[in-house]
Amino acid sequence: MKYYSTRDAAVRMDAAEAIKMGLSRDGGLLTPCGIPQIDRAFLESLVNVRYQERAAKVMGLYLTDYTYEELSGFAENAYGPEKFDCDAVAPVRTVDETTHCLELWHGPTSAFKDMALQMLPQLLSAALRKTGESKTVCILVATSGDTGKAAMEGFADVPQTKILVFYPKDGVSKVQETQMVTQDGANVGVCAVEGNFDDAQAGVKRIFSDEAIRATLADRGYFLSSANSINWGRILPQVVYYISAYCDLVRDGKLSMGDKVNFCVPTGNFGDILAAYYAKRMGLPVGKLICASNCNDVLTDFLRTGVYDKNRPFHTTMSPSMDILVSSNLERLLFDLSGENDAEVKGYMDALAKTGKYEVSDAIKAALADQFWGGFCGEAGTSAAIAKYYKENGYLIDTHTAVAASVMEQYRKATGDKTVTVFVSTASPYKFCDHVLRAIGETPAGDGVELLDQLHETTGTAIPRRLAALKGKARRFDLTCEKPGMDSVVLEFLK
Ligand SMILES: *Cc1c(COP(=O)(O)O)cnc(C)c1O
């Protein structure tokens, strides 16, 4: 299978090349030419197998220049007991007959980013080999909190790679910051940026498209790539868990093969829900895709009106990984919904760059209304959802998951839809102890990792072992820069 750019469909490359590049030179996102189709027999063959095997089979449909043996080895490394604290890898918890929760935070950093970022470094390492690359790849990451840590954890000490992470100085939680600035590995670097996530992301995108920086780095034996969810190697491993969740529900008798299921996804950069969309397009029986935002509700408005308008205040919330006004992966959805019309997509993206705004065609509006439902939830609603699930179901959820839980309720009230619905849990509550404690009526006594024990003692739930290990870990990084200074941080890191 070949890959092309959302802004230039004439660009053609293999998966290995697409994963190595991260982003197309024209600024477009690299996307598979055609979406492989699965049938009932394929799904049935996955019902009684382990997650690792499901991953290798699903990814193999897209990565035709990788062998099944390679993919299956990568899946064993990525999702084995050394990395994941749960044999099922991505277990589905039942809340009630028609409501289930897909837990994606059992990996080493306790957020769903591990699902993809334990896999991507292996796909990329193999891609360097397959393409005969002799330079060292430097992964540049802009993070709203979880990606940075998960990427460093995945890439730490991987040969022929370096990784440099930029995070918004006051935009991540204490635990998230501690996780990043204590990261091990000789090839990692971390820098705080004065600004918000969009500032950090814009800076990274600018560096990617700067030919002078590229030339300087090439002289020094480096090239840049991305581990942000613009990289196809991030999206694909996420397609797996939607298919896996469906198979689990069938295996456990919660669903009959062929029945539809809705997914409700807490959304930021539109990567996670885009993976659900691809699963649906492949033929997984999916009804609505419910897109849940926090009070940065640009996607809610977009799905309701067809107008994407980022000209609005940016809110820092208790679900920081969703504090995003420009959702990069939407571009892949628009490409697919426009019938792979690269000129149309380029028009939208040019308008976004110039005016911060674009309006999609009537055809796309109709497709969006048919397949998606958008809603948002403010800070009080987020806390209320945490309290409700804890008190009524004895189920402790984090702030991002709570946004999804709340929007799922809104959707059900608004539409009366009784379809079995899976809401996606993207982080352990232990990553956001202070907000979770407050939501369940406790007063946090302390800050950051000090609160892990308090949440444990209050709720009797287990502290993820890697978070517990943060206590007393020494800070390794203390670098801060202004937005324009990001270039020199990169050049200094890759001396
Ligand atoms: C990244 C992240 C999200 C948002 O996912 P996208 O793919 O950016 O839409 C939601 N919750 C958590 C905990 C995250 O880390």
Interval between CA 374 and ligand 1 midpoint (Å): 16
Interval between CA 272 and ligand 1 midpoint (Å): 7
Buried b / exposed e along 28-52 (16+ C-beta atoms within 10 A): bbbbbeebbebeeebbeebeeebbb
Give the integer Cα–Cα distance in Å for 135 and 494.
12
Q: What is the pLDDT of residue 116?
A: 97
> Residue 335: which pLDDT band, with cuts at 50, 70 and 90?
very high
> Residue 145: which pLDDT band, with cuts at 50, 70 and 90?
confident
> Residue 84: which pLDDT band, with cuts at 50, 70 and 90?
very high
Per-residue pLDDT tens over the stretch 37-56: 999 999 999 999 999 999 99
- Is there an atom of ligand 1 within 6 Å of 425 CB? no
Catalytic residue among 57, 83, 113, 346: 113
Ligand 1 atom showing the smallest separation from residue 267 Cα = 9
User: pTM (2 decimals)?
Assistant: 0.94
Q: Hey, what amino acid is at 369? A: A
> Between 449 and 55, where is the model more confident?
55
The pLDDT > 70 percentage for the chain reads 100
- Is there an atom of ligand 1 within 6 Å of 269 CB? yes
Q: What is the pLDDT of residue 359?
A: 98
Phi, psi angle pair for 157, to nearest 5°: 60, 20
Q: What is the pLDDT of residue 30?
A: 95
Q: What is the pLDDT of residue 118?
A: 96
- Is there an atom of ligand 1 within 6 Å of 111 CB? yes
- Is there an atom of ligand 1 within 6 Å of 270 CB? yes
Place of tokens 């009684």: 48
Ligand 1 atom showing the smallest separation from residue 266 Cα = 10
Interval between CA 131 and ligand 1 midpoint (Å): 31
How many other C-beta atoms lie within 10 A of the C-beta of residue 385?
Answer: 23
> Between 25 and 365, where is the model more confident?
365
> Residue 146: which pLDDT band, with cuts at 50, 70 and 90?
confident
Phi, psi angle pair for 6, to nearest 5°: -65, -15
Torsional class of 67: left (φ above 0), alpha (ψ -120 to 50), beta (otherwise) = beta
Per-residue pLDDT tens over the stretch 163-212: 999 999 988 888 889 999 999 999 999 999 999 888 998 899 899 889 99
Q: What is the pLDDT of residue 198?
A: 81
Ligand 1 atom showing the smallest separation from residue 427 Cα = 13
Q: Which of 321, 377, 431 to mutate to test the pocket of ligand 1 (most atoms within 8 A of CB)?
A: 321
- Is there an atom of ligand 1 within 6 Å of 426 CB? yes
Residue 403: closest CA among 326, 485, 322, 287: 322
What mean pLDDT comes out for the span 93-98?
96
Give the integer Cα–Cα distance in Å for 253 and 255.
5
Interval between CA 328 and ligand 1 midpoint (Å): 12
Ligand 1 atom showing the smallest separation from residue 105 Cα = 13
Q: What is the pLDDT of residue 205?
A: 85
Q: What is the pLDDT of residue 250?
A: 98
Residue 187: closest CA among 151, 216, 217: 151
pLDDT of 449 over the 90 cut = no
CA 409 from centroid of its chain's CA atoms: 23
Ligand 1 atom showing the smallest separation from residue 144 Cα = 1
Per-residue pLDDT tens over the stretch 320-333: 889 989 898 999 99
Per-residue pLDDT tens over the stretch 213-262: 999 999 999 999 888 888 999 999 999 999 999 999 999 999 999 999 99
- Is there an atom of ligand 1 within 6 Å of 107 CB? no
What mean pLDDT comes out for the span 337-363?
97
Interval between CA 147 and ligand 1 midpoint (Å): 8
Domains identified in the chain and CATH numbers: 91-111+233-431 (3.40.50.1100)
Interval between CA 219 and ligand 1 midpoint (Å): 36
Residue 372: closest CA among 333, 319, 332, 418: 333
Q: What is the pLDDT of residue 277?
A: 98
Q: Hey, what amino acid is at 423? A: F
Known catalytic residue: 113? Answer: yes
Specify whether the CB–CB gap between 331 and 350 falls below 8 A. Answer: no
Q: What is the pLDDT of residue 228?
A: 81
- Is there an atom of ligand 1 within 6 Å of 122 CB? no
Q: What is the pLDDT of residue 26?
A: 87
CA pseudo-torsion sign 121, 123, 125, 131: negative
- Is there an atom of ligand 1 within 6 Å of 427 CB? yes
The pLDDT > 90 percentage for the chain reads 88
Helix, strand, coil in percent for the chain, rounding step 5? 50, 15, 35
Q: What is the pLDDT of residue 379?
A: 98
Q: What is the pLDDT of residue 140?
A: 94
Interval between CA 480 and ligand 1 midpoint (Å): 24
- Is there an atom of ligand 1 within 6 Å of 201 CB? no
